[in-house]
Chain A
Amino acid sequence: MSLTLSNDAKTAPETGRRLLHGLAGGTPDPGLETHLERWGELRPRHHLIDELDASGLVGHGGAWFPVSTKWRSVAAGGRRRPVVVANGAEGEPASKKDALLLAHAPHLVLDGLMLAGSALRAQQAIVYVPRNSIPAVEAAVAERRAHRLDPMAIEIAESADTFISGQESSVVNALGGRRGAIPGFVGRTSIRERGVGGRPTLVQNVETLAHVALIARFGAKWFRQVGTPDNPGTMLLTVNRPEGPLIVEAVLGSSLRKATGLRPEDVARARGLLLGGYGGGWVSPATFGELPVSEKAARRAGATLGAGVVALLPPDVCPLAEMADVVRYMEGQGAGQCGPCVHGLAELADAMERLAYGGSSGPRVERILEICNLVEGRGACRHPDGVARFVRTGLSVFCDEVIAHQRRGSCSQTHAARVLPVADRTARRRLVSKA
């Protein structure tokens, strides 16, 4: 098959439908030819990091860290040539947007990875994705190799199917690097200096890399055409609704409710809405209705947008039972490395289960909040902090349900089918023994 490559840059999308441009309806073709037709050829762009800086692009794996700052610190990370990693691990059971991108627009992600590789003069480029995404990535990499598109080889590595598998330090560990840095901990170097194979390492979420591919083509000014000056561009959201998950592309700064496509009446009747996934926070329907698509605003409301997970809890479920299941799941999903997290999340899961199922003998709220305080900030990673936020905000948003459970015991919906997805309910964590 011969490919006709157009030398003209394709016209940039003018609406907020960017990453999902051309992916509506049917089964979108993820092939290279369609990709090049849609977006045009990728030509090297000088000063890409400056362009990323001007664009204001931040990481969409959940950390919201400025991309240009991260790339510069990897570039300054050491004398050895770096490793660049496209991170599609997406361990959150309620997040599906990275899988969608890898299935339907893998070349956008790979373009971004190659741009990172060139800008940082990388030695090695790796795509780190779950088993289900590997066939699509393999096919895309084979197409690119056949057309000699890329300046360097692309390796594919399978990610573990666990909640924390997408955390930067977990990615580096899985790819044979050193143990990750503890934030702010002196005496342990950052993976940006010493990561995979001891080399400076860039771990960047696949959605973020897809945005990079578009900024390289159309520029920072184009990127800022939608969104607000503080909050430019778009982000993908996974909207978990009773009728099934939906992935939308939201313009930053716009109405979150409208962006999710959730009907106002469904939001009004909801028990509550979860933002940012199982390490995120709960908000009331009224708060949700007012929020813009903004990390700052979500933080002010006690939550986070994280990696773009939104979940609506419909009126016919028991929020405390939903929470108890998630906390138990999260307990089993830690790395098992830090004592306070291992013991604390186990106690937290027990307490939430007693609150949901245990009748009026359940624990007092103060006792649950005390455990939250004991785990927060005491792990090497932010896993316990996220669970603490999930529980604290939930107890506040669902305070009526908490009181009802404490008075009358478990409610009629406690044993209804769950709506929040958790992967393996039986997974339990062990404290890893230390050598």
Chain B
Amino acid sequence: MSRWTLELMVDPIACDGRGVCAEMLPERIELDRWGYPIIDGEDVAPALVDHAVRAVRACPTQALHLVERRC
């Protein structure tokens, strides 16, 4: 049986380093010293999915994505 996980990804070309994502989802996103998000490859825990979706929607350049992964 296949399982699904959700993962955050940033499109580095689209990203302008506005930093909205880190404000909306500080649990998972921090900014480097130039203001660009650092995202580890970990799954997004179920309790954080709503927040993650809001962060994705809030990104002014639509650079943040929530991606489904089969595992």
Point out residues on A near B: beta carbons under 8 Å.
179, 182, 185-188, 337-341, 343-344, 374, 378-380, 434
Contact = CB atoms under 8 A, between A and B. Distances in A.
A339 B34 contact: yes
B25 interface: no
A338 B65 CA distance: 16
B16 A340 contact: no
A182 B12 contact: yes
9 contacts: A186-B65, A186-B68, A188-B11, A339-B36, A340-B12, A340-B36, A341-B12, A378-B36, A380-B12
Contacts of A179: 13
Contacts of B34: 339-340, 343-344
B32 A337 contact: no
A341 to B, nearest CB: 8
Given A187-B65, A378-B36, A339 B11 contact: no
A185 B17 contact: no
A343 B31 CA distance: 13
Contacts of B38: 378
Lowest 5 A-B CB distances belong to which pairs?
Answer: A338-B12, A343-B34, A339-B36, A337-B13, A186-B67
Given A374-B32, A378-B36, A339 B65 contact: no
Nearest to B34: A343
B53 interface: no
Contacts of A341: 12
B52 to A, nearest CB: 15
Given A186-B67, A187-B65, A434-B61, A340 B32 contact: yes
Nearest to B17: A339
A209 B32 CA distance: 42
B14 A185 contact: no
Contacts of B9: 185-186
Interface string B29-67: 000111110100000000000000000000001000101
A344 B33 CA distance: 10
A185 B10 CA distance: 9
A378 to B, nearest CB: 6
A343 B35 CA distance: 10
A182 B9 CA distance: 11
A212 to B, nearest CB: 33
A434 B14 CA distance: 8
A138 B32 CA distance: 49
A187 B65 CA distance: 9
B14 A379 contact: no
A419 to B, nearest CB: 33
A341 B36 CA distance: 11
